């Protein structure tokens, strides 16, 4: 078996991973991919090979194993069982790279210290991303590690798209819009360039609709605007996050309702969004299946806000040639795609109901003025590609 590279995407209660073989052609082939979920309660580990066959499934009955112990289990399983001869490197998803990290970097103690400064800007993700880097470095000290940032892809945005209307000194300090889901958008932009070079060279909105959700305006494959800003709270209504909100609401919560900053953070990141509005679930599948009026309203708001923000990005792009749906909801929900496209019909956008129901690669009609596509995202593969570029820069590779 070949040399391999490992991608890690570590969240508050999960470790998602993908192990790729780096073959003689330098194409990346999935050796194993999977996740450990339920960290902190009853962890569940599952890994499949490239064809979807289950390679291992294991449950732990108690919460005893934290992230580091379970990462150790994963790395040990990879060494012993997965069949990778040599682990060339480990790539990590890091949500916030601030203004300074415009591209993936090899991990050093200095880099970790610099990235720790962004923990308050991404409290749901950054601490877990950095803890995983430290744990993996301790567990495999000889293996090079690379940090890949969700903010980096958006560095091509013009200054006017990243500036808030606040005093200049604060902007200069870094209080500005950064944008997130960059690894997903970068993967989608590259895939689109391969699949449809003409659309890729035009004005495209990519809709990453998952538990976290955002839109990205791409001109010629480069990000020029996006709905997330200083933090991953901004923009669309998400699974548990509120999306764009009048900042006066936060002042009111603190001043009139006496809420502490930590309580407001919990409210905006964890208790809001689809979950908060519906009172039923943060999972779109549950909401679409629910008879509750509040669930219907949550779906309605989710779609309304996507269409509204898309309208703003059409203005940033000065028109629209293509729309791409990606991530859990975007790839798998014909109902949400249809509702979003219905609201955007004024753009001359028309979808083919059958193609949409079937989840076809192109779901717009031949007459549609805007081409609508579904492109499954693959952040783990993007991380692996960046990691190899950093640790073996001489290699030329195909995705």
As annotated, the active-site residues are 150
Q: Which is nearer to ligand AMP, 94 or 135 (CB)?
A: 94
Is residue 329 a contact point for ligand AMP (CB under 6 A)? yes
Give the nearest distance from C-beta 361 to ligand AMP in angstroms.
Answer: 17
Other Cβ atoms closer than 10 A to 61: 7
Given the rule CB under 6 A, which of 90-98, 278-286, 302-310, 346-354 is the region that contacts ligand AMP? 278-286
Min. distance of Cβ 66 from ligand AMP in angstroms?
Answer: 23
- Among 145, 151, 157, 332, which residue sits at the site for ligand AMP (rule: CB under 6 A)? 332
What is the rounded CA–CA span in Å between residue 389 and residue 375? Answer: 24
Sheet containing 28-37, strands listed edge to edge, beginning at the edge strand earlier in sequence: 54-59, 44-48, 28-37, 15-22, 3-10, 86-94, 145-149, 105-106
Query: Could you tell me the smallest distance in angstroms from the CB atom of residue 25 to ligand AMP?
Result: 30
Nearest to 205 by CA among 236, 226, 228: 226
CA gap 217, 374 in Å, rounded: 16
DSSP 61: S
Binding-site member from 333, 368, 371, 387 for ligand AMP (CB under 6 A): 333
Q: Which two tokens stand for residue 317?
A: 């792009």
Piece in contact with ligand AMP (CB under 6 A), picked from 110-118, 246-254, 279-287, 337-345:
279-287
- Count of beta carbons in the 10 Å neighbourhood of residue 74: 25
Residues 280-309 touching ligand AMP, rule: CB under 6 A, are: 283-285
- The residue among 33 and 329 lying less far from ligand AMP, judged by its C-beta, is 329
Q: In what order do the strands lie in the sheet with 203-209?
A: 222-226, 213-219, 203-209, 322-326, 371-374
Q: Please name the residues in contact with 225: beta carbons below 8 A apart, sequence gap of 6 or more.
A: 157, 161, 216, 217, 313, 316, 317
Q: Is residue 211 a contact residue for ligand AMP (CB under 6 A)?
A: yes
Binding segment (CB under 6 A) for ligand AMP, from list 103-111, 191-199, 325-333, 379-387: 325-333
Site residue total, ligand AMP (CB under 6 A): 11
Query: Closest-CB residue for ligand AMP?
Result: 328
Q: Does 9 bind ligand AMP (CB under 6 A)?
A: no
- Give the residues lining the site for ligand AMP (CB under 6 A): 210-211, 239, 283-285, 327-329, 332-333
């Amino acid at each position: 078996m070949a040399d391999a590279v490992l991608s890690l995407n570590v969240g508050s209660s999960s470790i998602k991973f993908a192990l790729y073989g780096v073959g003689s052609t330098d194409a990346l082939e999935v050796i194993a991919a999977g996740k450990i979920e339920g960290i902190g309660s009853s962890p569940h580990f599952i890994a499949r090979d490239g064809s979807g066959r289950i390679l291992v499934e294991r449950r732990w009955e108690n919460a005893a194993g934290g992230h580091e112990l379970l990462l150790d289990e994963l790395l040990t399983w990879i060494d012993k069982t997965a069949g990778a001869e040599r682990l060339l490197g480990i790539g990590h998803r890091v949500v916030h790279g601030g203004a300074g990290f415009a591209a993936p970097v090899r991990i050093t103690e200095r880099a970790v210290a610099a990235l720790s400064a962004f923990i308050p800007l991404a409290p749901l993700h950054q601490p877990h991303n950095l803890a995983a880097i430290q744990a993996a470095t301790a567990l495999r000290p000889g293996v090079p590690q690379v940090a890949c940032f969700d903010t980096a892809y958006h560095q091509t945005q013009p200054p006017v798209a990243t500036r808030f209307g606040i005093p200049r000194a604060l902007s200069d300090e870094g209080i500005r819009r950064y944008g997130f889901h960059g690894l997903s958008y970068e993967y989608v932009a590259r895939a689109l360039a391969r699949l449809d070079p003409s659309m890729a060279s035009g004005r495209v909105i990519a809709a990453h609709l998952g538990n976290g959700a955002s839109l990205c305006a791409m001109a010629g494959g480069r990000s020029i605007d996006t709905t997330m800003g200083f933090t991953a709270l901004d923009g669309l209504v998400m699974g548990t996050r509120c999306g764009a909100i009048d900042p006066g609401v936060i002042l009111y919560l603190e001043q009139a309702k006496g809420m502490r900053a930590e309580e407001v953070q919990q409210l905006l990141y964890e208790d809001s969004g689809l979950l908060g509005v519906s009172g039923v679930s943060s999972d779109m599948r549950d909401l679409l299946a629910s008879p509750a009026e509040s669930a219907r309203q949550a779906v309605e708001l989710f779609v309304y806000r996507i269409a509204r923000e898309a309208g703003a990005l059409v203005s940033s792009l000065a028109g629209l040639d293509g729309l791409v749906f990606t991530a859990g909801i975007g790839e798998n929900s014909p109902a949400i795609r249809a509702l979003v496209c219905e609201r955007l019909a004024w753009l001359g956008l028309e979808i083919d109901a059958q193609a949409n129901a079937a989840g076809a690669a192109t779901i717009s009609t031949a007459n549609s003025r805007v081409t609508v596509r579904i492109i499954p995202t693959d952040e783990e593969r993007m991380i692996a590609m960046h990691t190899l570029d950093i640790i073996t820069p001489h290699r030329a590779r195909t995705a």
